[in-house]
Amino acid sequence: DQQVKQNSPSLSVQEGRISILNCDYTNSMFDYFLWYKKYPAEGPTFLISISSIKDKNEDGRFTVFLNKSAKHLSLHIVPSQPGDSAVYFCAAAPSGNTPLVFGKGTRLSVIA
Amino acid sequence: GAVVSQHPSRVICKSGTSVKIECRSLDFQATTMFWYRQFPKQSLMLMATSNEGSKATYEQGVEKDKFLINHASLTLSTLTVTSAHPEDSSFYICSARGQGKGTGELFFGEGSRLTVL
């Protein structure tokens, strides 16, 4: 049973436009949410996170929104750049030193 | 910031041999490290939780005797794939949670691509 779902396996966006990547979760115990970016043959790199006490966190071109009642979060990238082309993983965890649960990822392609 | 280093990045071995992958936390101590495996076009799957000074906790379906995990110090965890077979070919990634970095943030190694011939 997938606790973290990324229902769109791929997304194509034109350079300069907004990219919106979505993620849904089922476990109400999740307290912390993260987005990771992964290039081929490399380990994932941390992008941005949000705790359950917030509904928005912004870092430069990246903004994560959390809707706890809908158990939904999204990552907005604006403006999108070709270098943003990668696979983006949504991850979640309850508080404490517990492993993250990952979604299956969404492959973003930013077209110049 | 915290860095997790993994070695080797690529390894090719013959079927039946064993391969060891090292995961080091470079500027922080990690009492717990996690080992993940990524199959092609799939998500990261947690294999086991490595605890310093004690036995690793394996996820359901992961063979303990095949994937040996040793966390001998606060900065080093190793994963040994024993008697490797072609189906063990995969991308293995370790991770550790940085101290003082906030709940949940996890730092990943660069990954190790294992190819078993």
Residues belonging to chain B: 117
Residues of A in contact with B44 (CB under 8 A): 44, 89, 102
Is A49 in contact with B34 (Cβ distance < 8 A)?
Answer: no
With a cut of 80, say whether residue A109 has pLDDT above it. Answer: yes
pLDDT given at position B105? 64
- Confidence label for B20 from pLDDT (cuts 50, 70 and 90): very high
Chain position carrying tokens 């086991």: B48
- Tell me which of A9-13, A85-89, B36-40 is least confident: B36-40
Which of the pair, B108 or B82, is modelled with greater confidence? B82
Q: What is the mean pLDDT of residues A89-97?
A: 79
Of B46, B105, B109, the CB nearest to A99: B46
Highest mean pLDDT among A31-45, B24-38, B75-89 belongs to B75-89
Report pLDDT for B110.
81
Q: How many angstroms separate the CA of residue A43 from the nearest CA in chain B? A: 4
Task: Return the pLDDT at A86.
Answer: 96
Q: Inter-chain contact A99–B93, Cβ cutoff 8 Å? A: no
Nearest-angstrom CA–CA distance, B35 and B106: 12
* Residue-level pLDDT at B101: 47
A45: CB partners within 8 A, 6+ apart: A36, A37, A38, B108
The pLDDT of A20-28, averaged and rounded, is 96
Mean pLDDT of A46-63: 92
- What residues in A contact B95, CB-CB < 8 Å? 43
For chain B, what percent of residues have pLDDT higher than 90?
50
Query: Is there a cis peptide before residue A82, judged by omega within 30 degrees of 0?
Result: no
> Per-residue pLDDT averaged across B68-88, rounded?
93
Query: Per-residue pLDDT averaged across B41-60, rounded?
Result: 86
Would the pLDDT of A111 be above 60? yes
By the 8 A CB rule, do A105 and A8 touch? no
H/E stretch holding A30 reads: none
Is residue B81 a contact partner of residue B18, using CB atoms and an 8 Å limit?
Answer: yes
The residue-averaged pLDDT of B39-66 equals 86
> Average pLDDT for residues A74-101, to the nearest whole number?
89
Alpha-carbon distance values, B88 to A29, A42, B19, B31, B116 (Å): 33, 18, 11, 27, 7
Name the residue in chain A with its Cα closest to that of B33.
A99
Q: What is the pLDDT of residue A95?
A: 67
